[in-house]
């Protein structure tokens, strides 16, 4: 993709990237940073397509384009701190060292940067781990923001763009392996789809969720262009977008529910003499028991078994 402006694609794609699969509606703004554009952009409102398209898509901006005051406010309110790419690379390298059992698979770390290893990633024929196993290994970025650990299209702190050949994200690494081990377009599409099915991330704030989803989609498109010297077809983009909308989701990471969906419920109790309103707070919020919230629990997709599951059940260990 020469330009990551969704106006150049289609509304169907944008609808998918805004969808919340847990509610069947759209993701929420979940921040009041956009109130200057009207009450329809308040924290509890859904993000609508026409709002995203206002000012040619310029309402929702990555962190680097937000004002310093906006950045400070989000740090105070939601502890939003973005990590430079060289730190993401170091931590992702530790994950790969554990998986491969050896160091320096994708790059060599240098002071505040890295040097990419151009040689094809090796998976010994005699070993018990294949390139397919690597693609299928599951990864999760918690409180993902714009997903800098998953995809490194740009440095989230400086805004500097990073060439495809030098990217270090978890999905970047999987797509590099796919590109090195497939030559037929259909094979690449299939394994790239499996790669994105095995990376997950969540965040509270709707603009972050949307930007993260956008970053994953354009990452896939960019790797495809480098590999095949042509643009990815709109049908394929839509297929990938549907996976991404499940795997990057909006969630209160402490309660495992849609942000601010827990509530105080009122019931009317009556006896022979009077009626009174009884207010009952969310039991989960009151007790700290994440199995007892009255909010909307977040659902994700288990692609291997083709089923929907509650993220809370994964954390509690009740999913088999």
Structure-block tokens of residue 155: 């440095």
In 80-180, beta strands by DSSP E = 107-110, 113-116, 139-141
Please indicate, yes or no, whether residues 197 and 307 belong to a single structural domain of this protein.
no
Contact 158, 148 (CB under 8 A): no
Q: Is 258 a domain residue? A: no
Number of domains in the chain: 2
Please indicate, yes or no, whether residues 24 and 112 belong to a single structural domain of this protein.
yes
Contact 219, 151 (CB under 8 A): yes
Q: CA 28 → CA 32, 209, 232, 309, distances in Å?
A: 11, 10, 29, 21
Provide the pLDDT for residue 62.
Answer: 80
Please indicate, yes or no, whether residues 100 and 222 belong to a single structural domain of this protein.
yes
Instruction: Tell me whether strands 199-203 and 265-270 are parallel, antiparallel or unpaired.
Output: unpaired
Q: Is 126 a domain residue? A: yes
Under DSSP, the state recorded for 161 is B
Please indicate, yes or no, whether residues 271 and 212 belong to a single structural domain of this protein.
no
Q: CA 75 → CA 70, 71, 128, distances in Å?
A: 9, 6, 44
Structure-block tokens of residue 230: 């042509």
Q: What span, in angstroms and rounded, lies between the C-alpha atoms of 18 and 295?
A: 20
Please indicate, yes or no, whether residues 180 and 35 belong to a single structural domain of this protein.
yes
Helix (H) or strand (E) holding 257: none
Among candidate residues 194, 217, 250, the one where a domain is terminated: 250
Q: Is 171 a domain residue? A: yes
Please indicate, yes or no, whether residues 162 and 208 belong to a single structural domain of this protein.
yes
Provide the pLDDT for residue 202.
Answer: 98
Tell the residue number behind the tokens 């923001």, with chain if given.
Answer: 145
Q: Is 192 a domain residue? A: yes
Q: Is 256 a domain residue? A: no
- The C-alpha R_g of the chain, in whole angstroms, comes to 21
Instruction: Tell me whether strands 248-250 and 265-270 are parallel, antiparallel or unpaired.
Output: unpaired
Contact 194, 134 (CB under 8 A): no
Sheet holding 248-250: strands in order across? 139-141, 199-203, 248-250
Residues 6+ apart with CB under 8 A from 179: 188, 223, 226, 227
User: Residue 215: how many CA atoms within 13 Å on its side-chain side?
Assistant: 33
**What are 107-162's pLDDT values in tens digits?**
999 999 999 999 999 997 767 899 999 999 999 999 999 999 999 999 988 999 99
Among candidate residues 201, 216, 250, the one where a domain is terminated: 250
**What are 276-311's pLDDT values in tens digits?**
778 899 999 999 999 999 999 999 999 999 999 999
In 65-182, beta strands by DSSP E = 107-110, 113-116, 139-141
Provide the pLDDT for residue 1.
Answer: 41
- Residue 141 phi, psi dihedral angles, 5° rounding: -105, 115
This prediction has a pTM of 0.92
Reduced to 3 states, what is the DSSP secondary structure of residue 280?
strand
Residues 6+ apart with CB under 8 A from 11: 49
In the chain, beta strands by DSSP E = 107-110, 113-116, 139-141, 199-203, 248-250, 265-270, 275-280, 299-302, 307-310
Please indicate, yes or no, whether residues 70 and 118 belong to a single structural domain of this protein.
yes
Residue pLDDT tens, the chain, 320 long: 444 455 556 788 999 999 999 999 999 999 988 888 889 999 999 999 888 876 555 688 887 777 666 777 776 666 667 899 999 999 999 999 999 999 999 999 999 999 999 999 999 776 789 999 999 999 999 999 999 999 999 998 899 999 999 999 999 999 999 999 999 999 999 999 999 999 999 999 999 999 999 999 999 999 999 999 999 999 999 999 999 999 999 999 999 999 999 999 877 777 767 777 788 999 999 999 999 999 999 999 999 999 999 999 999 988 77
């Amino acid at each position: 993709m020469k330009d990551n402006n969704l106006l150049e694609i289609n509304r169907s794609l944008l609808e998918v990237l805004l969808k919340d699969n847990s509610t069947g509606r759209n993701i929420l703004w979940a921040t009041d940073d956009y109130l200057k554009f009207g009450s329809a952009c308040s924290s509890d409102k859904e993000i609508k397509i026409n709002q995203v398209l206002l000012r040619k898509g310029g309402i929702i901006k990555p962190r680097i384009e937000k004002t310093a005051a906006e950045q400070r406010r989000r740090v105070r309110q939601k502890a939003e701190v973005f990590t430079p790419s060289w730190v993401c690379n170091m931590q992702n390298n530790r994950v790969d060292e554990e998986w491969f059992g050896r160091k320096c698979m994708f790059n060599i770390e240098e002071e505040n940067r890295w040097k990419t290893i151009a040689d094809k990633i090796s998976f010994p024929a005699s070993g018990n781990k294949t390139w397919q196993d690597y693609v299928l290994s599951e990864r999760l970025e918690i409180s993902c923001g714009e997903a800098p650990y998953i995809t490194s299209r740009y440095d989230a702190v400086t805004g500097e763009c990073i060439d495809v050949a030098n990217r270090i994200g978890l999905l970047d690494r999987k797509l590099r392996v796919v590109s090195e081990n497939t030559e037929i377009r259909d094979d690449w599409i299939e394994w790239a789809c499996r790669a994105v099915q095995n990376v997950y991330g969540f965040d509270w704030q709707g603009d972050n969720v949307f930007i993260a989803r956008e970053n994953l989609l354009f990452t896939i498109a960019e790797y495809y262009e480098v590999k095949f010297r042509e643009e990815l077809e709109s049908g394929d983009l839509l297929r990938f977008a549907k996976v991404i909308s499940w795997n990057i989701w909006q969630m209160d990471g402490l309660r495992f529910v849609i942000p601010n969906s827990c509530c105080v419920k009122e019931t009317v109790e009556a006896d022979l003499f009077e009626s009174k309103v009884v207010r009952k707070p969310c039991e989960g919020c009151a007790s700290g028991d994440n199995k007892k919230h009255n909010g909307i629990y977040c659902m994700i997709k288990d692609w291997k078994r083709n089923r929907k599951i509650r993220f809370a059940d994964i954390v509690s260990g009740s999913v088999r």
